[in-house]
């Protein structure tokens, strides 16, 4: 069975419709102003409403304050809140207790030691999303990590793979890691933050063929 697929960093109704039409199981909305994929909470809420009941919607936050996190959850009401900064397991556990949304944590996979360190998130996060180590921006950089780090690893939590995925390499990534979920953002864009509907279609077609 092909992996689940999240198309992240969507900012327009057209991109949301393309992701849904071609078979995405999840979409991601980024609320982080430095990102070229940033959407304000009003836009995020409208896109989430458009997708409701059709795909799972994740809202991505980066080192957000308690106030912003609460406001974002209240206005957007996502199925998933994805933390992409330096958030602690204690903070994730508190959010998980207070809201009905799933809690995902993105982690930059630098070396085998990272796989030991993520154990601290057991019970606090519902899914770990392995990404390339953070650079100037956390995520959406088009950089991949060493997929061989995940080969034969016994995962204690639900997980997925992000970072540098494209229509051309996603099948290789799935074969190398056995990922149950793949997450793409810059790999289906024509420019930073500009989603390309043809690339979205090609990515989802490549995953479906796995």
pTM above 0.85, yes or no: yes
Using an 8 Å Cβ cutoff, are 184 and 203 in contact? yes
The CATH number that applies at residue 108 is: 3.20.20.70
Phi-psi region of 142 (alpha: psi -120 to 50; beta: other; left: phi over 0): left
> What's the mean per-residue pLDDT of the chain?
94
Range of the domain at 36: 4-208
Per-residue model confidence as pLDDT tens digits over 186-203: 999 999 999 999 999 999
How confident is residue 135, by pLDDT bands cut at 50, 70 and 90?
A: low
The pLDDT of residue 138 is 54
Per-residue model confidence as pLDDT tens digits over 76-129: 999 999 999 999 999 999 999 989 999 999 999 999 899 999 999 999 999 999
SS (H, E, C) 115-154: HHHHHHHECCECEEEEECCCCCCCCCCCCCCCHHHHCCCC
- Both tokens of 3, joined, read 């992996």
Residue 72 predicted with pLDDT over 60? yes
Residue 176 predicted with pLDDT over 60? yes
Residue 136 predicted with pLDDT over 50? no
Give the whole-number percent of the chain exceeding pLDDT 90. Answer: 88
Using an 8 Å Cβ cutoff, are 37 and 43 in contact? no
Per-residue model confidence as pLDDT tens digits over 46-71: 999 999 999 999 999 999 999 999 99
Q: Compute the average pLDDT of residues 5-26.
A: 98
Q: Compute the average pLDDT of residues 142-168.
A: 92
- Both tokens of 141, joined, read 């950089």
The pLDDT of residue 112 is 87
Closest alpha carbon to 194 in 27, 7, 9, 6: 9
How confident is residue 134, by pLDDT bands cut at 50, 70 and 90?
A: low
Query: How many structural domains is the chain composed of?
Result: 1
């Amino acid at each position: 069975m092909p992996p689940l697929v999240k198309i992240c960093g969507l900012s327009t109704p057209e991109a949301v419709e393309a992701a849904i039409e071609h078979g995405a199981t999840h979409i991601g909305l980024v609320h982080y102003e430095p990102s070229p994929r940033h959407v304000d909470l009003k836009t995020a809420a409208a896109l989430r409403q458009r997708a409701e009941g059709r795909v799972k919607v994740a809202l991505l936050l980066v080192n957000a304050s308690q106030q912003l996190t609460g406001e974002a959850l209240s206005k957007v009401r996502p199925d998933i809140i994805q933390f992409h900064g330096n958030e602690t397991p204690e903070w994730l556990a508190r959010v998980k207790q207070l809201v009905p949304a799933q809690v995902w944590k993105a982690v930059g996979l630098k070396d085998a030691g990272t796989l030991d360190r993520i154990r601290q998130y057991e019970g606090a996060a519902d899914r770990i999303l392995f990404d390339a180590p953070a650079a100037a921006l956390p995520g959406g950089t088009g950089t991949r990590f060493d997929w061989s780090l995940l080969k034969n690893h016994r995962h204690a939590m639900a997980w997925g793979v992000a970072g540098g995925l494209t229509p051309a390499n996603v099948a290789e990534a799935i074969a190398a890691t056995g990922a149950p979920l793949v997450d793409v953002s810059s790999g289906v864009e024509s420019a930073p933050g500009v989603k390309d509907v043809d690339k979205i279609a090609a990515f989802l077609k490549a995953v479906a063929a796995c």
